[in-house]
C-alpha cells in the first residue's frame, strides 16, 4: 500500500520523504475543503433564483469562470475575483446575481471548512519540516482559514504577495526565495497539492518534486472546481493529508 501510494506513475522509485526539509502547500482543495465551501456558499443563490444545477455542474462552471478571471485580472483581490465569478455563473446558468449576492460570495472564503484531517496532519508534519503556504487567495481570507488549520506556517505567499494567480510561477518563486533565506535549497522542497492545474504543472516546470493529494480519488469523474491540466506526472500520490503523515511515520520506522 505504501509503495503504491508514493510511487510515481512513470515507474520512478517511491519518494523518500526524508530527503526534504520543507513542504510547500496549496491550501484550498488540499487543506481547506473549498468544493464543499463553494457549494454551500452558492446554494442560497441557486435557491433564490431557482437555478437547477447539481453540485458537480456548479463546481465545473466555477472552475472555468475562476480560471478565466484570474488570468484576465492577475492583480485583482480574490474577493473581487469570486464576486465576478458569481456574475459569470449567473450568465452561464441563465439567472441574475445582485451586487449583494456577489459581495457575499466574495466574502465566503472565511466559511469554507478545513478537511477533517488537515490540522492533525499539519501538527505532526511541523515537527519534521518547515511548512509554507502558496495560495491563490488574499491574506485577509487566508487568516480565517489559518485559524482552522491550527499551525503557524514558516512562510505564507498569497496572490496579494505574488501579484498573480497560479498557475503563474510567481508564488513558487517567492516561496523558494524565502526558503533560500532560511537555508533551504530547492532540492529540499516538496510541493504538496491537490490541483494538477494550479500547482503540479508550474511546480514541476520549476524543477520541484511534488506529491498529489488526490482528494477526489473516490469522487465522480471530472475535476470539480479545478480545470483540466496539461499532462503532468507528480512524483507521488496520497488520498489525504492523514495518509501523507502516515507515510512519513512508516518511512521513519524502517
Enumerate the active-site residues.
26
Q: Which helix (H) or strand (E) holds 192?
A: strand 189-193
Place of cell 510561477: 169
DSSP 164: S
Order across the sheet with 189-193: list the strands.
Answer: 155-157, 130-134, 22-25, 189-193, 209-213, 236-238
What is the spatial distance between Cα 195 and Cα 216, in angstroms, rounded to a whole number? 10
How many C-beta neighbours within 10 Å does residue 183 have?
10
Dihedral sign, Cα of residue 163, residue 169, residue 171, residue 175:
negative
Q: Considering only CA atoms, which of 8, 2, 4 is closest in space to residue 200?
A: 8
Dihedral sign, Cα of residue 198, residue 199, residue 205, residue 206:
positive
DSSP 15: P
Amino acid at each position: 500500500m505504501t509503495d503504491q501510494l508514493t510511487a510515481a506513475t512513470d515507474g520512478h522509485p517511491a519518494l523518500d520523504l526524508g530527503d526534504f526539509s520543507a513542504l510547500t502547500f496549496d491550501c484550498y482543495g488540499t487543506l481547506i475543503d473549498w468544493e464543499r465551501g463553494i457549494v454551500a456558499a452558492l446554494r442560497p443563490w441557486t435557491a433564490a433564483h431557482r437555478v437547477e444545477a447539481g453540485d458537480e455542474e456548479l463546481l465545473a462552471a466555477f472552475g472555468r469562470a475562476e480560471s478565466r478571471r484570474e488570468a484576465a485580472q492577475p492583480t485583482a483581490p480574490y474577493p473581487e475575483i469570486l464576486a465576478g465569478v458569481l456574475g459569470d455563473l449567473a450568465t452561464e446558468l441563465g439567472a441574475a446575481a445582485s451586487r449583494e449576492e456577489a459581495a457575499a460570495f466574495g466574502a465566503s472564503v472565511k466559511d469554507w471548512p478545513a478537511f477533517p484531517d488537515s490540522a492533525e496532519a499539519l501538527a505532526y508534519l511541523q515537527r519534521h519540516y518547515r511548512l509554507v503556504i502558496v495560495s491563490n487567495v488574499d491574506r485577509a481570507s487566508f487568516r480565517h482559514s489559518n485559524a482552522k488549520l491550527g499551525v503557524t506556517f514558516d512562510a505564507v505567499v498569497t496572490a496579494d504577495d505574488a501579484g498573480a494567480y497560479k498557475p503563474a510561477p510567481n508564488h513558487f518563486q517567492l516561496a523558494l526565495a524565502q526558503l533560500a533565506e532560511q537555508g533551504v535549497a530547492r532540492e529540499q522542497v516538496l510541493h504538496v497539492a491537490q490541483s494538477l492545474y494550479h500547482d503540479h504543472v508550474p511546480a514541476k516546470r520549476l524543477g520541484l518534486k511534488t506529491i498529489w493529494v488526490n482528494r477526489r480519488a473516490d469522487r465522480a469523474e471530472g475535476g470539480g472546481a479545478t480545470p483540466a491540466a496539461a499532462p503532468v506526472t507528480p512524483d507521488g500520490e496520497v488520498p489525504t493529508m492523514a495518509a501523507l503523515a502516515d507515510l512519513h511515520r512508516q518511512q521513519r520506522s524502517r
